[in-house]
A and B are shown apart, each in its own frame.
Chain A
Amino acid sequence: MGHIIEVRHLHKVFGELEVLRDISFTVSEGEVVCVIGPSGSGKSTLLRCLNRLEETQGGEIEVLGHKLSEVKDINRYREDIGMVFQQFNLFPNYSVLENLTLAPVMLKKMSKEAAVAKAEELLAVVGLSEKRDVFPVTLSGGQKQRVAIARALAMNPKVMLFDEPTSALDPEMVGEVLDVMKGLAQEGMTMVVVTHEMGFAREVADRVVFMEDGFIVEESSPAEMFQNPKSDRCREFLKSVL
């Protein structure tokens, strides 16, 4: 199994603030990695660096064999990396179906017909077939996030990044989104998930990464992380959230 993502000695600063300090980690094909940690620890920033929504100041990121520093066409690079945001960010001026078909058709990945077929298939997977022609404003938060996941999948990405996908949801809608993500993990999608859902991390992750103050403090299997954290900081964090 090759590495889909390889991060070496990554540094990132916002002005004076050092957000990521010497981050190194890898993600293998088919692996689900959950990144946990207190807010402000840099976990979302790390995720956003992977598809260059954030510029980095040092180190190297390699995704799907492409070194980010050598990438000429950032748009092509991003096509293979799906991203799901905390705030969904659906396009309100397009129908649900158009949200899914817009990018594949525009970037000539698929014909219009193929994109529609694929979109209908994905909407069935996330359980929203009957919503294909409505506008995003009519959807609930959980439905919006499921559409956002389907929209990312419509590009046939090889890896999916989730940036706190359930943090903006009402509690009763968290489950439906996590279920979709679980299904995706079971199908073998490579996933990096920044999350506060410890239950999800414990159940679905192959590996859990604990971050604090811009460092990766600890990295292990969920069983080990949750039962037997090595560092004090990790133990304290888990105690406060569990």
Chain B
Amino acid sequence: MIAYFSMFGQYLPRLLEGLRLTMVIAICGILIAVVLGIIICILSISGKSVLVKAANLYITIIRGIPLMILALFLYFGVIKNALPLLVSASLILGLNASAYMAEIFRAGIQAIDYGQMEAARSLGLSYMQTMRKIILPQAVKIMIPSLMNQFITSLKDTAILSAISVNELTMCAKTIIARNYKAFEIYSYAAIIYIIIITALTLLSRRVEQRLSYDKR
């Protein structure tokens, strides 16, 4: 037991290096996903048939490809050496999450009763004013749990990017194990670190949710 934890202490700095990269890629990836997701969502609620179909096609394709294939195909097949590894990794993760993001945004907006739009428009507010002041503030609140969920999923998905040799947490663990063969210990350390980070994020999201709540009596 003591040996287990002292080994944890020994490798912790290396693993935290990996965690740092995991976080950087996850955050950059999610930011890319938010931007792309907003664009795709706007297309899919535009009501224009061509744009809606384009958005649906994008979502179908991205959701249909395993992240591993997306990563290998884009990195080795398309990007090659055109971009730095970290940029490529963030882009791949962002692309993968963008389809889910778009669906979260769309579902959030469409969950708001259409009467809200009609009431605001009948007062003379424009579509954009209504979106900004009435629909989006309510929709964002609904979206938060799903957004947080997606962030957690993407954070864990960074592990798959070890396939393109990104030196994130999982890759760090693999590298260490390649030298000392302690697969049980090292992978369990990595797992513990993932659990701690993700639990912290979950607690944070609950706090945010509570603060935004306006329907408490």
* Residues of A near any B CB (own CB < 8 A): 51, 53, 75-76, 78-79, 81-83, 85, 87, 89-93, 102-103, 106-107, 135, 137-138, 148, 151-152, 155
Contacts and interface: CB of A to CB of B under 8 A. Distances in A.
Given A85-B115, A137-B215, A138-B217, A91 B124 contact: no
Which of B118, B119, B121, B137: most chain A Cβ within 10 A?
Answer: B119
Interface residues of B, number: 21
A51 B122 contact: yes
Contacts of B141: 93
B138 interface: yes
Contacts of B119: 83, 85, 89-91, 148
A152 B214 CA distance: 23
Nearest to A103: B123
B121 to A, nearest CB: 7
B121 A53 contact: yes
Contacts of A91: 116, 119-120, 134
A135 B125 CA distance: 21
A75 B113 CA distance: 21
Contacts of B113: 87, 89
Contacts of A75: 121, 124-126
Contacts of A92: 138, 214-215
A10 to B, nearest CB: 19
A78 B120 contact: no
B182 interface: no
Which of B118, B124, B138: most chain A Cβ within 10 A?
Answer: B124
B131 to A, nearest CB: 13
B129 interface: yes
Contacts of A83: 119, 122
Interface in B123-176: 123-126, 129, 133-134, 137-138, 141
A82 B119 CA distance: 10
Given A92-B138, A135-B215, A107 B118 contact: no
Contacts of A107: 123-125
B172 to A, nearest CB: 44
B123 A152 contact: yes
B217 A137 contact: yes
A135 B137 CA distance: 15
Contacts of B138: 92-93
B116 A89 contact: yes
A103 B125 contact: yes
A83 B120 CA distance: 10
B189 to A, nearest CB: 44
A23 B142 CA distance: 42
Q: 8 tightest CB-CB pairs across the interface, nearest first?
A: A89-B119, A79-B124, A103-B123, A89-B115, A83-B122, A78-B124, A137-B215, A75-B124
A135 B215 CA distance: 7
Contacts of A102: 123, 133
Contact of B124 (A85, A90, A103, A135): A103
A103 B214 CA distance: 20
A75 B215 CA distance: 30
Contacts of B125: 75, 103, 106-107
Contacts of A78: 121-124
A92 B119 CA distance: 12
A138 B217 CA distance: 6
B124 A155 contact: yes
Interface string B200-217: 000000000000001101
A151 B122 CA distance: 11
A54 B74 CA distance: 47
Contacts of B126: 75
